[in-house]
Each structure stands twice: as structure tokens, then as C-alpha cells.
């Protein structure tokens, strides 16, 4: 995953703070290609839901480019980049994408980590940022 894409996620997280931000990442052949910011329908510092209108628009754009949804991202503005129980529950409905979490807990050193979340179990994945 290119550093520039991670930076886009971090910028979005900073823009939407103190609320959580969210969005989707397109990819092809296991390579992330593009970041699609979405509105957080919950507009909350504690939870996120990709706005349904944004989700439809983004998914059709991604499909139109012949790519797939590689990841779903959101931010934690005060806590570490670990999936919360809420995040784990939310992922039940959509187990395929990697879940990226951007933490702003240390504002000078934002971190992004990736997880596969399936049936309540969480496994960290290497993001492979060159």
C-alpha cells in the first residue's frame, strides 16, 4: 500500500476529528489503488457507519474501474488503532475487506494498522508500505 494512500487516510482522519472518519479503499491484485473518503453517517467520536449514499456511489465507481473493495477504513481519534468490540460486530456483515484503523491518539505520530475480522476473530495484516 503506497505511503500517499495512507497519508490520504490520515488527512481525512484529521479533517473529521473529533468525530471518526470512514471510507473505502479500492484495490486490484492485492494492491491498494485509491482512497475513497465517505461521510460518517453516525457523525460520532465513538462509532462510524459509511453513509449509504456514499457507499453506493463509491462501490459503483470502483466496479466501473474494474477494481474491487480492498479495505474499509475508519479512525480512532483518542484510542489506539485496535478494533473495538463495535468494530468487530460491524465486520460480521462484511468479512471480506481488510479493516484499516487510523489512530490519532498521538497527534504527532498517527498510526494506521490493518486487520482481517471474521466471525469475531481479529488478525492483524502487514500493510507492506514501501
Binding residues vs Zn ion (CB under 5 A): 84, 87
**Residue with smaller CB distance to Zn ion, 65 or 118:** 118
- Is 67 or 97 the residue whose CB approaches Zn ion more closely? 97
- Residue 36 or residue 99: which is nearer to Zn ion going by CB? 99
Alpha-helical segments (H) within the chain: 3-16, 52-64, 85-91
Give the count of beta carbons closer than 10 Å to the beta carbon of residue 127: 15
* Smallest distance from Zn ion to CB 84, Å: 5
By C-beta, is 48 or 67 nearer to Zn ion? 48
> Measured from the CB of residue 94, what is the shortest distance to Zn ion in angstroms?
14
Of 61, 120, 53, which Cα lies nearest the Cα of 93?
120
| The 3-state secondary structure of 37-48, one letter per residue | EECECCCCCCCC
Task: Name the residue with the smallest CB distance to Zn ion.
Answer: 87
Strands 121-125 and 111-118: antiparallel
Query: How many angstroms separate the CA atoms of 57 and 36, rounded?
Result: 10
Q: Nearest distance from residue 80's CB to Zn ion, in Å?
A: 10
- What CA–CA distance (Å, rounded) separates 78 from 97? 24
Considering the complex, what minimum distance in angstroms separates the CB of residue 22 from Zn ion?
9
Amino acid at each position: 500500500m503506497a505511503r500517499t494512500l495512507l497519508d490520504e487516510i490520515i488527512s481525512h482522519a484529521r479533517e473529521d476529528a473529533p468525530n471518526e472518519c470512514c471510507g473505502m479503499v479500492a484495490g486490484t491484485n492485492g494492491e491498494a489503488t485509491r482512497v475513497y473518503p465517505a461521510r460518517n453517517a453516525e457523525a460520532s467520536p465513538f462509532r462510524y457507519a459509511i453513509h449509504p449514499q456514499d457507499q453506493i456511489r463509491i462501490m459503483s465507481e470502483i466496479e466501473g474501474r474494474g477494481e474491487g473493495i480492498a479495505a474499509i477504513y475508519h479512525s480512532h481519534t483518542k484510542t489506539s488503532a485496535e478494533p473495538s468490540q463495535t468494530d468487530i460486530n460491524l465486520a460480521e456483515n462484511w468479512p471480506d475487506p481488510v479493516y484499516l484503523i487510523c489512530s490519532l491518539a498521538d497527534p504527532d505520530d498517527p498510526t494506521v494498522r490493518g486487520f482481517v475480522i471474521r466471525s469475531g476473530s481479529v488478525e492483524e495484516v502487514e500493510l507492506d508500505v514501501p
